[in-house]
Structure 1
Amino acid sequence: MDRDLVSQIIKFNAQTNGRERICRLLQYISRFLLGYLEGRHNAADILEKLKKLEYMFSMTRKLLRFGKSLDFLQGALKTIHLEDYVLRMTLTLSKINQAFYLLIDHFIWAHNVGVVKLNKQKWTDLSARFYIATLILNLVRDIYDIFCVICQEVKIYQARIKRSQYVNGDSNHSMVTQNQTKGKVVLRVFNENKPLFLDFIKNAADIPIPACTLGYLKLSQQTEGLLGVISSVIGVATVWNPLLKLVPS
């Protein structure tokens, strides 16, 4: 095995975020398989094992994130000083909501292991409300960033078209150039802003999960698991390659 790959695996595994993302991926793979196998004959034993696996990965994630709420509160103190008003508001409020979401998650974990006695459904719904608020704020930020980069690219291409018209003085040539550039704008924006679009896909895939918990949506367990797998794969990729992580975040 390549030494660089081994070093990267060791580095990834040494990070709490890396282990938590892997657990999340395995949790949603388990949920997807539960939905896929549900109702099939002679699958009762496998379904029981998958339920235990999903619960185990969920509990492990809660433990790995213990104390993480303080990190997000500290992050909010940093993002509140960003110059861009939209980024300042969305990122700061997102981090505050995520801090409360994780704090409540700690209490749910304590209830599950028998340390305290809580109304689990009530606390789970409260946690989901903070989580969905976090995701909505993240999506607003992503859409705002996408709008900004597209506007910037459109201005660049419009300037190029004008220069092409001036140099060639040929209206037919100008129309061809304009049609070609329209197709290139989207590709160029995506290629140069992969972290932004990956973050958008991740948040868009995640948002139905708390929505289902709160009863706003009704999706099958298989669909919910698939969405969780998609967002988890992106999450793993951003830890594996920090260049794919959206900044600031």
Structure 2
Amino acid sequence: MPIQQIVLHPTVDRSLKYASTTVGRDKVYRAVQYFARFLAWYLKRQDYNNKEIIQRLSNLKSALGLSRKLMRLGKSMEHLQHATKALNVEDEFAKYVTIGRQLGYAVYLFWDTFSWVHSAGVYKFQQIKRINENAYKAWLMGLLFSIIHGLYKLHQINSQRGSLISKAKIAETSERSKDTATLKKERKAAIRQLIQDVLDCSIPATALGYIHLEDGLVGLTGFITSIMGAQSQWKKVNGP
């Protein structure tokens, strides 16, 4: 039966497996949220006559943003656990930047909880503006530490790769070729994460007024990094 073939298709199975993860769903919601933000800005900029469509896109953006905040409740504890585990890292520099990154994300999600409470109407905070600013500052701090860690990791990978290439010229072995391929893969992943972090920095930096980007550009940036994150999560769940 055609319906059975569609329902039982491997792609559907992998999609369901991906959607069963909280991170997977969050990346999809985030992509739609930021694309709606970009599209609403674009239509408004083009003087689109149907104002109702623009309002619907804005409502969609707000609804998804609120839903994602709810999904993140309690996630700050996960980052605190990662920060605690990082204490066992032998590399001192990597240890402290990892702790800084995880603490930044943990504090961001802590303040983000209050933001959800306010936005959901559970309780209205008079200092909601300051709460949101604290959240954005913590998010930006986490991203900056992540960028520093990414640059440091790239430096380490390049050093190891250079050493392996030099040794390979002297004695070519399958083991060294395998190590070189592994480092190449790690380098590609590190560069990808670095690009994602740099792009994501524009979101809290714009919200805090440190840089001035148009709403559409922020939306487009968020959409791009969401797709990048979704691809990474897909590979993590379903393999390459």
Q: How many residues align?
A: 222
Name the structure 2 match of 1:114: 121
Secondary structure of the residue that 2:191 maps to in structure 1?
helix
User: Which of 146, 159, 162 is equivalent to 1:151?
Assistant: 159
User: Which of 176, 195, 204 is equivalent to 2:198?
Assistant: 204
Deviation digits for residues 8-43 of structure 1 (CA, Å, limit 9, x no counterpart): 111111111111111111111111112211231304
Shift of 1:158: 3.9
CA distance in 1, matches of 2:160, 2:237: 22
Residue identity opposite 1:64 in structure 2: M
User: Which of 126, 136, 154 is equivalent to 1:128?
Assistant: 136
Contact persistence 2:18–2:238 (CA under 8 A): no
Distance 1:189 1:44, change over 3 A: farther
Contact persistence 2:115–2:132 (CA under 8 A): yes
Contact persistence 2:14–2:238 (CA under 8 A): no
Q: Does the alignment pair 1:37 with 2:43?
A: yes
Distance 1:199 1:207, change over 3 A: same
Residue identity opposite 1:85 in structure 2: E
Name the structure 2 match of 1:167: none
Name the structure 2 match of 1:16: 22
Matches within 5 A, 1:68-107: 68-107=75-114
Structure 2: gaps (5+ residues)? 1-5, 172-180
Structure 1: gaps (5+ residues)? 165-186
Q: Does the alignment pair 1:237 with 2:231?
A: yes
Shift of 1:85: 1.4
CA distance in 2, matches of 1:190, 1:220: 36
Residue identity opposite 1:36 in structure 2: Y
Moved more, 97-106 or 127-136: 97-106
Name the structure 1 match of 2:55: 48
CA distance in 1, matches of 2:222, 2:53: 21
Residue identity opposite 2:151 in structure 1: I
CA distance in 1, matches of 2:223, 2:26: 13
Under a length normalisation based on structure 2, what TM-score does the superposition of the two structures give?
A: 0.85
Deviation digits for residues 36-86 of structure 1 (CA, Å, limit 9, x no counterpart): 112313042221111100001100100111111111111211112111112
User: Which of 180, 189, 192 is equivalent to 1:195?
Assistant: 189
Under a length normalisation based on structure 1, what TM-score does the superposition of the two structures give?
A: 0.82
Secondary structure of the residue that 2:124 maps to in structure 1?
coil
Identity of aligned residues (%): 27
Distance 1:112 1:243, change over 3 A: closer
Deviation digits for residues 148-196 of structure 1 (CA, Å, limit 9, x no counterpart): 11122223334456x49xxxxxxxxxxxxxxxxxxxxxx9965453321
Distance 1:239 1:160, change over 3 A: closer
Distance 1:230 1:189, change over 3 A: farther
Residue identity opposite 1:70 in structure 2: M
Shift of 1:4: 2.7
Secondary structure of the residue that 1:87 maps to in structure 2?
helix
The structure having more radius of gyration, on CA atoms, is: 1
User: Which of 137, 142, 150 is equivalent to 1:142?
Assistant: 150
Distance 1:244 1:103, change over 3 A: farther
